[in-house]
Amino acid sequence: MAENATNDSVSVAHASGPGMPQLDFATFPNQIFWLVIALVAIYFILNRIALPRIAAVLAERQGALTNDLAAAEELKQRAVEAEAAYNKALADARSEASKIADETRAAMQVDLDKAIERADADIAAKAAESEARITEIKASAVRSIQEVAADVAGDIVAAVAPGQKVDAKALAAAVATRVKG
């Protein structure tokens, strides 16, 4: 079997012509002719259509990337600016608020002072009035006591010495000196 096989292969190899078709120089002009045509065709396809197109796409992509990066940078810059503006506004608002608070406090203080002054004056007037009335009441009380004392003294004199005339004026004077005494 093996022997047969090798014999067959040899015979087939002989039948299929001498060696390598690569060295059959008769086909060379044909191959070279068509190869040159193919290479020229490929070169024109690439150089005229494919390469400019791919180069354009790559350039466009690069441009898009650059633009996007620049836009991102600009947006970042604007965000920083916005933050600064926000902080400034916040500080302004704080100082404004404290100013308003101060003004309000000062105005209220003025009002308060006025009100306290008025209240003090009222209180002083009322106190003076009350004092006057107290003095008056005291005086009237003293007078009443003197009258009562004179009456009681008259009654005592009548009881101790009946028939004796009581001089009202002398009695009143005596009581007055006693009360003062």
Partner 1 sequence: MASESTNTTGIQSKGNGRVIAYGLIALAVVLFGLAYADGYGKLAIAPMDQFKVTPLFGGDTIAWYTPTNVTFWLGMSILSIFALMVMGTRGRAVIPSRGQSMAELAYGFVRKMVEDVAGKDALPYFPFIFTAFLFILSANFLGLIPSSFTTTSHIAVTAILAMGVFLTVTVVGFVKSGFGFLSLFWVASAPLALRPVLAIIELISYFVRPVSHSIRLAGNLMAGHAVLKVFAGFAGAMGLAGIAPILGVVAIYGLEMLVSAIQAYVFTILTCVYLKDALHPHH
d(CA 164, CA 158): 7
- The minimum distance between CB 76 and partner 1, in angstroms, equals 23
In whole angstroms, the minimum distance from the beta carbon of 48 to partner 1 comes to: 10
Q: Does 26 bind partner 1 (CB under 8 A)?
A: yes
Residue 177 engages partner 1 in binding (rule: CB under 8 A):
no
Q: How far apart are CA 164 and CA 150, in angstroms?
A: 16
Residue with tokens 């005339």: 165
By CB under 8 A, tell whether 32 contacts partner 1: yes
| Residue 72 within binding range of partner 1, rule CB under 8 A | no
What distances in angstroms separate CA 124 from CA 91, 121, 127, 128, 172, one per listed residue?
49, 5, 5, 6, 39
> Residue 36 to residues 24, 49, 62: CA-CA distances in angstroms?
19, 19, 36
List, as one string, the DSSP characters of 4-65: HHHHHHHHHHHHT-SS-GGG-GGGHHHHHHHHHHHHHHHHHIIIIIIHHHHHHHHHHHHHHH
The H-assigned helical ranges of 46-167 are 51-160
Query: Does residue 56 bind partner 1 (CB under 8 A)?
Result: yes
Closer residue to partner 1 in complex, CB, 53/78: 53
The reply to whether 159 sits near partner 1 by the rule CB under 8 A is no
> Which residue from 13, 85, 158, 173 is in contact with partner 1, where contact means CB under 8 A?
13
60 binds partner 1 (CB under 8 A): yes
Q: By CB under 8 A, is residue 39 in contact with partner 1?
A: yes
Shortest distance, CB of residue 90 to partner 1, whole angstroms?
42
Query: In whole angstroms, how close is the CB of 51 to partner 1 at the nearest point?
Result: 6
Q: Which two tokens stand for residue 178?
A: 């006693």
Q: Is residue 71 a contact point for partner 1 (CB under 8 A)?
A: no
**Binding flag, residue 86, partner 1 (CB under 8 A):** no
CA distance 92 to 54: 56
Question: What are the residues binding partner 1 (CB under 8 A)?
Answer: 4-6, 8-9, 12-13, 16-17, 19-24, 26-39, 41-43, 45-47, 49-51, 53-54, 56-58, 60-61, 64
